[in-house]
Structure 1
Amino acid sequence: MTQPFVPAKRTIMTPGPVEAEPRVLRAMSTPILGQFDPLFTSIMNDVMEDLRRVFQTSNHWAFPIDGTSRSGLEAVLCSIIHPGDKVLVPVFGRFGQLLTEIAERYGAEVFTMECEWGTVFEPAEVIDEIERIQPHIAAAVHGETSTGCLQPLQEIGRCCRDMGSLFVVDAVASLGGTDVKVDEWYIDAAIAGTQKCLSVPSGMAPITYNERVEQVVNARKKVERGIATAEDELEKRKQPPIASNYFDLSQLQDYWSPRRLNHHTEATSMLYGLQEGIRIVLEEGLADRFKRHRFHEQALRAGLQAMGLSLYADHDAKLPMVTCVNIPANVDGNAIRHLMLEQFGVEIAASFGPLKGKIWRIGTMGYSCRRENVLFTLSALEAALLSHHVPIYAGHAVQKALEVYQRNTEGVQKS
């Protein structure tokens, strides 16, 4: 007889995916509603309203794209890029490279600027390039999980607004774990993912965008649907059709508006999960949630350093939800990770590109960001290193993290 599939229990401490909130999993197991059932469309409306609060925006448009976080990036970029448009991408890790690739695939003239991995740009550097290139779009990563760095955005956003450029931000790693102030930072479009700090399974990409983006989307919509005026026709060559049907924001707007024009069949169970996930975020409160992430990061860092390990990119621009650890010399980083997974059920991440084999990446995101997870991860890592005869300060890591927890638990609502 075929046995039901029961996945192994894991403690997931990667930069994504992370452990899903139990309430989210329960919500996702509830019965299906039809996508035009009034009960379901009311859920769609509630999700839009709650997403505005998490994105800290008054934008009308805030809804999820059905697909992983990359689908949200593609939906926004393909809907606003015209072939030949200038797009500036400041690259400080793997996901800046991804923005570059997507923009190139939709015919943009892409300009990149790069800084050493493990650092971020001074806003003035990016502003100088915006003023020099005058791009139609500046696209930037907020939290770069490949390097554990967090790029300051507000000054860059203000420059884009002054210059008339659209500012598109990849907030996949940061939304729900640290501030993402869409309106205050002059962000025109922001893209997130469910599988990181929102602690929902991978499969949706919440996005938000403002009227400046909507104007670009609607201008192309007129041409595509044959409703352009004579003046519009004069601009037709500047308004080519959107290359993607599935990721066409103009059609998705119709679906998420009161008109409910059918575009695709909504991912019902995923929307249940997203609704519950963002409810949990808002119940905890954004400020308290961000404080919790910083608190557990502090305990993890203290434990790692007490063990004798050094941290990569440990500076003011460190991403609070991802801690990168330098792999000691002559140590097989993958062998350590495999032992932790096989013997303890604890998963941490390797890296790629120029950092492949050089660092481990430990995520403290969403539901995975808990005291027991931090302590267990430190224990598993210490045991794996000792098993491979790596010289560390045995017994120090957990004790140091415990000191952090015992010294200051005030204001942390979720252990």
Structure 2
Amino acid sequence: MTPGPVEVDPRVLRALSYPILGQFDPEFTVLMNETSELLRHLFRTENRRAYPVDGTSRSGIEAALVSLIEPGDRVLVPIFGRFGHLLYEITERCGATVIAIEREWGGVFSPEELAEAVRRERPDLVAVVHGETSTGRMQPLDGVGDACREVGALLVVDAVATIGGVPVETDAWQLDAVVGGTQKCLSIPSGMAPLTYNDRAERKLLARKRIERGLRTAGGPEGGPEAWERQAAAVIRSNYLDLSQLQDYWSPARLNHHTEMTSMLYALREGVRIALSEGLEARFARHELHGSALAAGLAAMGLELYGDPASKLPVVACVTIPDGIDGERVRAMLLHGFGVEIAGSFGPLKGKIWRIGTMGFSCRRTNVLHTLGALEATLLRCGYRLPPGEAVQAALDVYERSGAGAGV
């Protein structure tokens, strides 16, 4: 019951066991095409480009940023948790001039604040986290894309924690590139980073690719050493994470860029098929329901939920560790006594909150009730005074009011 990785859906585990096909076997390229189409539905986009980067979620984030940021570009990074700092670090390594705006952990920016910052700073690119699992907050994005279009900026979104669990409206919110994760709400093992990007982003990729080809021609660019140096700086520095090459691998051209992670593609395809067959709206409602039941149970124990409730990420509950309670002892007792794993946090919140995820296959009634009962028993054992039995009853009340009955 962490904010990732979570339990893998049994159907996905089964798909991982399928026999290996060659990466250019006609049967396998059909699976690649199917996966791209499934990802378009998952991201709610008409983009031509929708495919996974082989590697953990960070590989997708790095691929998007290293491919879209040229040295000297102005990049705006709103920071309201651990993973905003990660975006800052990556963009800085890309040679960008990074403009950070920060919000105290536990809150987010209003879309109006972000739009105003975009208009004020006029960046080339904005990189923002949608679901910040370190603080359990969700950043509203509707309207930010409009401001980015006004100033000609690309909007790149880390949706690792939200894709498949809460709405991610790529086209409606005018997001230029979106990176998702497998090990959270999709209940697939970590190892692939599905992403999508639009024609605006692709134009920048292709412009950088043309520069690289020009540098390979005899004589190089006109204008002498300075022009050569300037153009050389614009070349995408990574080979493995170069989206201009990866998109050719995923196109009918089938550029032999790398050896595809065959079994992980099986898993990704099956996990996205499961999400779409459930229905995205139904899936979002399920995550909202079980997150609400968990939150109600925690409150009934007298525990305080951390952060601004208006910006709570529906798939993560952050709980303030009560005074006098050893948070790590509680986590160990839950794990070894009840088979329940919850997470701590990072940076200024280390040792101050627990983070409990309700994501993907882990997001079900039996897990929520078991977690609440186990946490109650553990806290009582640690000397915390609470009303026994109220947590599970509060969660059951939420399920009863929702009409979920005894369902999962």
TM norm structure 2: 0.95
Aligned-partner Cα distance in 2 for 1:377–1:299? 11
Do 2:214 and 2:220's aligned partners in 1 also have CA atoms closer than 8 Å? no
Do 1:223 and 1:232's aligned partners in 2 also have CA atoms closer than 8 Å? no
Which residue in the other structure is 2:320 paired with?
326
- Shift of the 413–260 alpha-carbon distance from structure 1 to 2, 3 Å rule, reads farther
Which residue in the other structure is 1:77 paired with?
65
Aligned 1:143-162 pairs, distance under 5 A: 143-162=131-150
* Match for residue 188 of structure 2 among 195, 200, 207: 200
Q: Which amino acid aligns with 1:23?
A: R
SS in 2 for 1:130: helix
Q: CA deviation at 1:406?
A: 2.6
Q: Which amino acid aligns with 2:303?
A: L
- Shift of the 27–232 alpha-carbon distance from structure 1 to 2, 3 Å rule, reads farther
Q: CA deviation at 1:413?
A: 11
Q: CA deviation at 1:254?
A: 1.1
Do 2:145 and 2:155's aligned partners in 1 also have CA atoms closer than 8 Å? yes
Aligned 1:8-407 pairs, distance under 5 A: 13-226=1-214, 237-238=230-231, 240-407=234-401
SS in 2 for 1:242: coil
SS in 1 for 2:92: helix
Which residue in the other structure is 1:5 paired with?
none
Residues 53-87 of structure 1 deviation map (CA, whole Å, 9 limit, x = unaligned): 01000000000000000000000000011111100
Aligned-partner Cα distance in 1 for 2:61–2:103? 22
Q: Which amino acid aligns with 1:67?
A: G
Identity between Structure 1 and Structure 2 (%): 61
SS in 1 for 2:2: coil
Q: CA deviation at 1:241?
A: 1.4
SS in 1 for 2:214: coil
Aligned residues: 402
Aligned-partner Cα distance in 1 for 2:154–2:52? 20
Structure 2 gaps of 5+ residues are none
Aligned-partner Cα distance in 1 for 2:99–2:357? 31
Do 1:49 and 1:62's aligned partners in 2 also have CA atoms closer than 8 Å? yes
Q: CA deviation at 1:409?
A: 3.0
SS in 1 for 2:143: helix
Q: CA deviation at 1:133?
A: 1.3
Aligned-partner Cα distance in 2 for 1:263–1:233? 30
SS in 2 for 1:346: coil
TM norm structure 1: 0.94
Aligned-partner Cα distance in 2 for 1:85–1:408? 49
Residues 91-131 of structure 1 deviation map (CA, whole Å, 9 limit, x = unaligned): 00000000000000110000100011000002222222211
What CA RMSD, in Å, does the superposition of the two structures yield over aligned residues? 1.8
Do 2:214 and 2:221's aligned partners in 1 also have CA atoms closer than 8 Å? no
Q: CA deviation at 1:161?
A: 1.2
Structure 1 gaps of 5+ residues are 1-12
Do 1:157 and 1:167's aligned partners in 2 also have CA atoms closer than 8 Å? yes
- Shift of the 227–47 alpha-carbon distance from structure 1 to 2, 3 Å rule, reads farther
SS in 2 for 1:400: helix
Greater CA drift, 17-26 or 390-399: 390-399
Q: CA deviation at 1:204?
A: 0.4
Greater CA drift, 92-101 or 384-393: 384-393
Q: Which amino acid aligns with 1:186?
A: Q
Aligned-partner Cα distance in 1 for 2:122–2:209? 25
Runs of 4+ in 1 over 3 A off after TM superposition: 226-236
Greater CA drift, 361-370 or 119-128: 119-128
Q: CA deviation at 1:225?
A: 2.6
Aligned-partner Cα distance in 1 for 2:194–2:214? 30
Residues 112-167 of structure 1 deviation map (CA, whole Å, 9 limit, x = unaligned): 00011000002222222211211000110001001111111011111001211000
SS in 2 for 1:316: helix
Aligned-partner Cα distance in 1 for 2:234–2:406? 51
